[in-house]
Structure 1
Amino acid sequence: MVGKHFHPPVRQRGFVLIVSLLLLVVLTVLGISIIGTNTLEERMTGYFLDRQVALQAAEAALRDAERDILFGGRVSGSTGFVSGCSSDGLCLPETDGSPIWADLDTNNNLGWKKGTADGPSVRFGTYSNPPSGLATIPDVAAQPRYIIEVLNIPGAGGSLRVGFGPQQSTIVYRVTAVGFGRRDSTRIVLQALYKP
């Protein structure tokens, strides 16, 4: 009979366990950073989309005001425009020449800030028929709004201040529009000049 030699078992040192745990920690950190990056990218995409919606809403309000000026019959020369602003969005510049739109954001104008019925601004589609029967802009927190300021552009040597300058002047309309995104905190303000 051949004798069997029994060797005592070799003591495990745990090296494989330590390497496995280190790899697991590295993979966990990598996974968490990838999730964080994806979340950030989704937020950025959402904000970009929200701003694009607001931009398109503001552009629609500009086009609506342009139709109001050119075809609505409500805007004729400087008739109907009052100092400051009327409730239908027709505004004369202040006598010191300061533009009305600059004060809309600071005068607790909820119509301008939140798209509600308050304030001098006009809601999209109020006075003109929007194209293709589009009565409202879809997927926005509030409908876009606009104001129309009449500017008497003086002839040569004149002044923009009311009451100064030669009698010959050209009427130009400055339209300021605000569009809202899917959140009412996302706002885009656009401005255009129209010379009928």
Structure 2
Amino acid sequence: MSRARRSVPRGFALIVVLLMLAIAMVLGIGAAQVSLVGERSARNDRDTEIAFQAAEAALADAERDVLGPNDSAAQRLCLFNGKDASAFVPGCGGAGVRQGLCAQGEAGAKPVWMSADFAAESATSVAYGAFTGQTYAAGNAATGTRAGALPARAPRYIVEAVRNLGGWQAGQLRSASVRNASHLFRVTAVGYGMREETRVVLQTNLYKPAASPGCPP
């Protein structure tokens, strides 16, 4: 006795193949997106690290500027005297050797470093090496010049003369009289990544217990 054969619907195999191709395509797109996100994240991390290193370099350059040693012909060590902050002007608007020297803001006002101009060629902030003779490899954002895996432009900083209300010994307070007033020097540095919009801001306080050699006490 012959048995009747069950016929398989035509096109079923094609549908299965198409479904498998669709699944493979979705998985491939997902893997590509994950890879792109990972690559973008790694690129951003590298950009941020470059900006961080540039900001740290600017802090070190500012430390040479304020504390020395600094053998550059453009050095201005005598302007940094904890007992005399006359070289520091409101709005960081000093010119020449007073560039980037900022007087402390009024109580309750917006912090000076938040409103300072760190733009390229700014006259109110200091470019790396301006007063120390040091150089920092970087591109030039103003002309669109890139420098590979280096910052888009050189880092910059400002120095604020901040009234020293507390001593460096625990529980010791400074006199509030003008005659005994002393100052700390707060440095705010901005470093840039390979893209200029990637920025890192770092701050440090510098204490200068005595005037630099050859400067008035």
Identify whether the pair has TM-score above 0.5, normalized to the shorter chain.
Answer: yes
* Residues 1:32 and 2:29 are matched in the alignment: yes
* Residues 1:62 and 2:69 are matched in the alignment: no
* Residues 1:46 and 2:58 are matched in the alignment: no
Whichever structure has more strand as a proportion of its residues is 1
Greater gyration radius:
1
Give runs of aligned pairs for residues 126-165 of structure 1, distance below 5 A: 126-130=130-134, 135-138=135-138, 139-154=150-165, 156=173, 165=176
1:97 CA displacement: 6.5
CA distance, structure 2, for counterparts of residue 79 and residue 61 of structure 1: 24
Question: Which secondary structure does the structure 1 equivalent of 2:13 belong to?
Answer: helix
In the superposition, the TM-score normalised over structure 1's length comes to: 0.78
Structure 1 segments unaligned to the other structure (5+ residues)? 1-9, 159-164
1:102 CA displacement: 2.1
Q: 1:83 aligns with which of 77, 81, 90?
A: 90
RMSD: 2.3
Any idea what the Cα deviations from partners look like across 1:10-51, whole Å, max 9, x if unmatched?
A: 776222211111111100111011111111111111111111
CA distance, structure 2, for counterparts of residue 91 and residue 53 of structure 1: 27
Using the TM superposition, name which of 90-99 and 173-182 deviates more.
Answer: 90-99
CA distance, structure 1, for counterparts of residue 129 and residue 160 of structure 2: 18
Question: Do the aligned residues in 1 keep the contact of 2:51 with 2:151 (CA within 8 Å)?
Answer: yes
Counterpart amino acid of 1:151?
Answer: V
Counterpart amino acid of 1:123?
Answer: A
Counterpart amino acid of 2:155?
Answer: P
Q: 1:176 to 1:45 in 2, by over 3 A?
A: same
Identity, % of aligned positions: 38
* Residues 1:124 and 2:135 are matched in the alignment: no
Counterpart amino acid of 1:76?
Answer: F
Q: 1:11 to 1:102 in 2, by over 3 A?
A: closer
Question: Do the aligned residues in 2 keep the contact of 1:53 with 1:181 (CA within 8 Å)?
Answer: yes
Question: Which secondary structure does the structure 1 equivalent of 2:164 belong to?
Answer: strand
Question: Do the aligned residues in 2 keep the contact of 1:57 with 1:137 (CA within 8 Å)?
Answer: no
Question: Which secondary structure does the structure 1 equivalent of 2:182 belong to?
Answer: strand
Q: 1:59 to 1:11 in 2, by over 3 A?
A: closer
Report the counterpart of residue 175 of structure 1 in structure 2: 187
CA distance, structure 2, for counterparts of residue 44 and residue 128 of structure 1: 36
Question: Do the aligned residues in 1 keep the contact of 2:164 with 2:174 (CA within 8 Å)?
Answer: no
1:120 CA displacement: 0.4
CA distance, structure 1, for counterparts of residue 199 and residue 44 of structure 2: 11
